[in-house]
Amino acid sequence: MTLELTSAGESHGPALVAIVMGLPAGLRVEHAAIAEDLRRRRQGYGRSPRQQLEEDEVQVLAGLRHRRTLGTPLALVIANRDHANWAWGMSAWPPEGEPSGKGTTSVTLPRPGHADLAGTLKFGHEDARNALERASARSTAIHVAAGAVAEGLLAELGMGVAGRVIEVGGETSEDAWIAATDAARAARDTLGGVVEVVATGVPPGLGSYAEKATRLDARIAGTLMGIQAVKGVELGDGFALARTRGSEAHDEIEPDRRRATNHAGGLEAGVTNGEPVVARAAMKPLPTLMRPLRSVDLVSGEPGEALVERSDVQAVDALAVVAEAAVAWELARAVREKFGGDALVDVRAAHSAYLERIGWHTR
Ligand SMILES: Cc1cc2nc3c(=O)[nH]c(=O)nc-3n(C[C@H](O)[C@H](O)[C@H](O)COP(=O)(O)O)c2cc1C
């Protein structure tokens, strides 16, 4: 038993869709909780006007009745309001009438740092838009919606997951983030940053050291690295551990089997150890610059300037929400694997029985 998600949707297509398999029946899904996470994803200093345009209203087409999951596939849809401006350019069928709106001319000047060049070559596209539309971080909206559902499941078992920004453009205070973002915008440049996700109430024993692929540390690192623009991930003290001695690096075990420190970030041998799970992700500066980078025209072979498409100056606040959803999703998968159950009551019973067997009390 596990949770699986399959999604589809282009950035300027009609909608983002997801099918979620493996939720237990009877889980309460709050529309307001999903809406709140989607709102948080759109927020943040340095985002582009697209965020005001999109409402990100989630529709549930299947798997839910009167707010409770049915134990059947859950189908989620988020319409792209901006599609109205791209109806001709992004039409699924050969469009009728004169070209109108956006996306009517081919993108032949790939942007460095985006999927444009590699995707065009890999799939044999003549228009880089065929690659960049799906590679866009617009898809993170549907993952945030699914993450909100996962957080609901985790909350039933006393677990909470929270993401926050810890650095923007190398700065560590909010005033400095705003100033750095303003300066980057004025210079028609972009910034990156670092976010941190902490999961609390996590019991020991989620994940497994049996194989690389089952290690929860690997899975959390993988899901964070799977987010657009993430170039580095660390768990617990991560890279800093490499510069300390063993006597300072490990979390000694107290009589109650808890730890006074948490350098490991709640994971030992790919298994949760009962301490908060702590993961950080580093985001590169966004690759679409209003002062375009050098590129080459894929048709003429002439040097040129990369495509300039409406873009954020920085999206680190959004990454905090997207990363929170990703970690929640992976933890929820590990919960489904460990506790099984068709109905939420079964999951809760298995969870309680396990905590009783190991004599574990959440702090
Ligand atoms: C929430 C979020 C918003 C993003 N917004 C933009 C953006 O406005 N402009 C841009 O060039 N890249 C943006 N990105 C990053 C690109 O999507 C990403 O760098 C690109 O698809 C290439 O993938 P890679 O950086 O993982 O190699 C965003 C990423 C995230 C997570």
* CA-nearest residue, atom 15 of ligand 1: 229
Cα of 9 vs centre of ligand 1, distance in Å, is 16
Model confidence pLDDT, tens digit, residues 214-255: 999 999 999 999 999 999 999 999 999 999 999 999 999 999
Query: What angle (nearest 5°) sits at the alpha carbon of residue 29, between those of residues 24 and 31?
Result: 160
Average pLDDT over residues 130-151: 98
**Residue-wise DSSP of 40-54:** HHH-STT--THHHH-
Taking a C-beta distance cutoff of 8 angstroms, is the pair 192, 285 a contact?
Answer: yes
Q: What are phi and psi of 302, to 5 degrees?
A: -80, 145
More confident residue, 308 or 29: 29
What pLDDT score was predicted for residue 363?
A: 66
Gyration radius of the chain's alpha carbons: 22
Nearest Cα to 231, choosing from 194, 276, 187?
194
* CA-nearest residue, atom 27 of ligand 1: 229
- Residue 32 tokens read as 């307001």
What pLDDT score was predicted for residue 49?
A: 83
Tell me: pLDDT of 1 over 80: no
Average pLDDT over residues 32-38: 97
What pLDDT score was predicted for residue 173?
A: 97
Residue 90 CB contacts under 8 Å (≥ 6 apart), including other chains: 10, 12, 13, 14, 83, 103, 133
What pLDDT score was predicted for residue 205?
A: 98
Q: What percent of the chain has pLDDT over 90?
A: 94
Taking a C-beta distance cutoff of 8 angstroms, is the pair 64, 31 a contact?
Answer: no
Pocket lined around ligand 1, Cβ cut-off 6 Å: 48, 113-115, 135-137, 140, 227-229, 284, 286-288, 311-312, 315, 318-319, 322
Model confidence pLDDT, tens digit, residues 279-299: 999 999 999 999 999 999 999
Helices (H), the chain: 31-42, 50-53, 116-123, 129-135, 140-156, 174-186, 216-225, 246-249, 316-339, 344-358
Q: What percent of the chain has pLDDT over 70?
A: 99
- Mean pLDDT for the chain? 96
Average pLDDT over residues 119-125: 97
Taking a C-beta distance cutoff of 8 angstroms, is the pair 142, 330 a contact?
Answer: no
More confident residue, 196 or 96: 196
What's the pTM?
0.98
Where does the pLDDT of residue 311 fall: very low under 50, low under 70, confident under 90, or very high at 90 and above? confident
Residue 125 CB contacts under 8 Å (≥ 6 apart), including other chains: 119, 131
85 backbone φψ class: left, alpha, beta (φ>0; ψ -120 to 50): alpha
Average pLDDT over residues 167-195: 97
Pocket test for ligand 1, best of 228, 295, 314 (most atoms within 8 A of CB): 228
